[in-house]
Each structure stands twice: as structure tokens, then as C-alpha cells.
Amino acid sequence: MQLGTVQVSVQWEVRKKQTPLLSVLTLIGALGIGFLWVGFVFVFLGVDPVFALQKIFIGSFGSLYGWKESLTKGIPLFLISSGLCVAYQAKFWNIGAESQLLMGAVCSTWFGLQFGASLSPILGIPLMFFVGFLGGALWGVIPAILKVRFGMNEVISTLMMNYVAAEFVSYLIVGPWKGSTKYGYPYTDDLPKHLLLGTIPGTRIHYVTLVLGIVISMALFILLYRTKFGYEVRVVGESPEAAKYAGIDFFRTSLWIMIISGGVAGMAGVGEVAGIHHHLSYPGNISAGYGFTAIITAWLGKLNPLGSLLSGLFFAGILVGGDAIQISLRLPAATVHIFNGILLFVLLIGNFFLNYRPVVQIRRR
């Protein structure tokens, strides 16, 4: 760039180290710019951006009701995004949490309706979570096998399986599993009453799943940063070549990664069915985009399961606030995808500034 007789050139240099302060600052900067963009989108849609953003935050963290709902929506995000942290640290791009959640919901519904009546809650509820875990894990392991054995890109396979699972759930609820007590609505019958998850009085927070989510996040943190397996996961992510020379079994590691990542998403599905809906219904109601939002919360939490607890709560708030403005401003449900896309973009831009620093040179002619 030339300004009169002065020539200004900017070079980008790789930063040798990233201080925590810089990380926090870029994060705040990125989110700030992100919300600015979201504001522009609101202007574009003919909505007063200040009013809309205010509504979002009052609707989420500005009221007791908002907090209750944010925690409720946070539950699946905690579970899914801490699982995705494990997958993404190995650079296994699991985009299929949406359907892993659904398969967990399907399997636990089947189990609850089939065997629930004769089981006590003490036995039945843990078993339901276990079956849900298995459902998600099995659905998640398929792309891992396809990737390692057949070289199939996991982004595509997990996405295709999202569509397949959604159609499968729709098929079940309008077809063979349609409830006899539901007056023709496309739902399954309700799970037996004693298997429904208890909620904190006055809220929809199903506390069993909430505790599970927090405990699993902590466990996955320890797994990632304090165990040999976690070390292997990170080596696979940083350099598959190095992993090979270090004698890390790529196949085995990938399978475990997806068992964990898919399994916890399946548990989130159990929570949604047994804690919120009490039956299986339209896939869009059950998974509700959690699988996609969790991609961003995992990313925002720096792929650290504990960080994803914080970012999960934050994004749950945005979801709740998003619901609030959808109703009061009559915006369609897809609005949330716009937020997600924009925030993911600015986080990537923030990453660039974290990794590179500008070196400005001014030369006189």
C-alpha cells in the first residue's frame, strides 16, 4: 500500500507462543465482531438489532425463567460437545452427533417401551442410558470403520447418516412404532411413568442427565489430558505420521474415539426422550440441531471438555434467546443456523490472529 512517499507493507509472522491473555482477548474480540455481524443480519432482515440482541440476552440470562431454560438446553450440549472434543482433538470430524443422539433416543425408547414396565427405576434408568449409549456408539462407529478401512471421508459419511437416521425416526413414528394412545399423532407411546427422569421442581431440568453431563465432561477432560489414551488421541490429531511411528494403533484409537463421541451423544438422546418429550417424535423435535450447535461449542471451548461446559451453557442461552426472538419477532427457526455459521467464522478468524502476528513495515522512498 502506498501513502504518498511512504510505502507500508504488512507481513504476517507465525507467533512463537500464545499467551492465555491473548487467547482470551481474541476470543472476546471474535465474539464481539460476531455479534456485530449478527446485528447486521438483523438490520438486513428489517429487525432492530439492538432490540433483538437485548431480547436474546434477557430471554436467556436476564431472567430466572431464562436460566432454567438455558440449563435445560445446555444438558445435551454439555454431553455432545465434550464427546466431540475427543473426536476433534484427533481431527476426526464427526458431524453426525445429530443422528447419534437420535439413535440413542430410538434405542432407549425401544428398551423403555419393551422392558420398562417390569423394571424398577433404579435398574431401568441406568439401563436406558446404557442402551442409549450403545445406540449412539454403534451409529458412530460405522463412520470410523468406513474411514479407517475404506478411506471414506468422515464428514460425508456422518452427514449422510444424519439424513438416514432422521428418515428412520420419521418412519418409526408414522409407521410401526406409532403410539396406540396418541390419537393418530406421529408419536410413540409414552415411556412408563417410573422411567421418566425427575426434574428440579418448577423447571424442565432433568437433573440426572445434567449431573451425567458434568461428570462425563470432567471424566473426558481427565481422559484427554491425564491418560495414555488421551495422549494418543492428541498425537493422532497433530500428526498421523508421528502416530504411526509411535506405534499407535490408528484403527483402535479411531474406534474408541467414535464409541465415546457417539455414545455420549446417544445419552443426550436418552435425556431428551426420558426427560423432556417422554416419547419419540419428529426427529427435528428430538435432536433440534443440538448436534450441530455442539460443533461450535466444542470449538469455542478450545476442544477442552471443561471449556465446552462453559461454551455449552453460553450457547444454550443463545438458543433460548433465539427461541424468544423467534416468537416475538416471528423469525423462522433457521435463524439459529445463521448465528452458528457467523460465530464459527469469526472464531476461525480469531484463530488466525492468535496464530499470526502482523509485522508492519514503513519504508520511505
Partner 1 sequence: MVGLVASTLHRTIMAGTSLLLGTTGEILTERSGILNLGVEGMMNLGAVAGFIVTVRTGNVLWGIFAALLAGGTAAVFHGILTVYAKANQTVSGLALSMLGVGLAGVLGKPYIGHQLPVRLEQVELPLLSRIPFLGELIFHQDPLFYTGVVLAFGTWFFLRYTRSGIRIRSVGENPKASESQGVPVQRIRFLCTVGGGAFAGLAGAHVALSYSTSWTEGIVAGRGWIVVGLTIFSLWNPLRGMLGAFLFGGIFVTQYILQPIGVPPNLLAMLPYVATLLVLLMDGLRKDQRSLHAPAALGEPYSR
Q: Which residues bind partner 1 (CB under 8 A)?
A: 41, 45, 93, 95, 146, 149-153, 155-157, 159-161, 163-164, 167-168, 170-171, 174-175, 292, 295, 299, 331-342, 344-345, 348-349, 351-352, 355
Least CB distance to partner 1 at residue 61 (A)? 23
- The residue among 152 and 218 lying less far from partner 1, judged by its C-beta, is 152
Least CB distance to partner 1 at residue 92 (A)? 11
- The residue among 53 and 338 lying less far from partner 1, judged by its C-beta, is 338
Least CB distance to partner 1 at residue 318 (A)? 13
**Which amino acid is it at 122?**
I
Compute the Cα dihedral for 194, 82, 234, 240 and give only its sign: positive
Nearest one of 92, 79, 349 to 236, comparing CA atoms? 92
H/E/C letters for each residue in 67-111? HHHHHHHHHHHHHHHHHHHHHHHCCCCCCCHHHHHHHHHHHHHHH
Nearest one of 283, 270, 287, 307 to 78, comparing CA atoms? 307
Helix (H, G, I), strand (E, B) or coil at 297: helix
Least CB distance to partner 1 at residue 140 (A)? 15
- The residue among 78 and 339 lying less far from partner 1, judged by its C-beta, is 339
Cell numbers given for 310: 462453559
Q: How far is CA 317 from CA 60, 71, 85, 271, 320, in A?
A: 5, 8, 20, 19, 5
Asked if residues 352 and 75 have their Cβ atoms less than 8 Å apart, the reply is no
Residue holding cell 475427543? 86
Chain-centroid distance of CA 120 in Å reads: 32
- The residue among 63 and 170 lying less far from partner 1, judged by its C-beta, is 170
- The residue among 194 and 357 lying less far from partner 1, judged by its C-beta, is 357
Q: Which residues contact 321 (CB under 8 A, 6 or more apart)?
A: 55, 56, 57, 58, 59, 60, 66
Least CB distance to partner 1 at residue 267 (A)? 24
Least CB distance to partner 1 at residue 96 (A)? 12
Q: How far is CA 272 from CA 246, 276, 294, 308, in A?
A: 41, 5, 15, 19
- The residue among 117 and 174 lying less far from partner 1, judged by its C-beta, is 174
- The residue among 290 and 299 lying less far from partner 1, judged by its C-beta, is 299
- The residue among 106 and 131 lying less far from partner 1, judged by its C-beta, is 106
Q: What is the dihedral of CA 21, 342, 293, 186, to 10 degrees?
A: 160
Least CB distance to partner 1 at residue 170 (A)? 5
Least CB distance to partner 1 at residue 356 (A)? 8
- The residue among 133 and 299 lying less far from partner 1, judged by its C-beta, is 299
Cell numbers given for 254: 479411531
Least CB distance to partner 1 at residue 54 (A)? 20
- For the chain, the residue count is 365
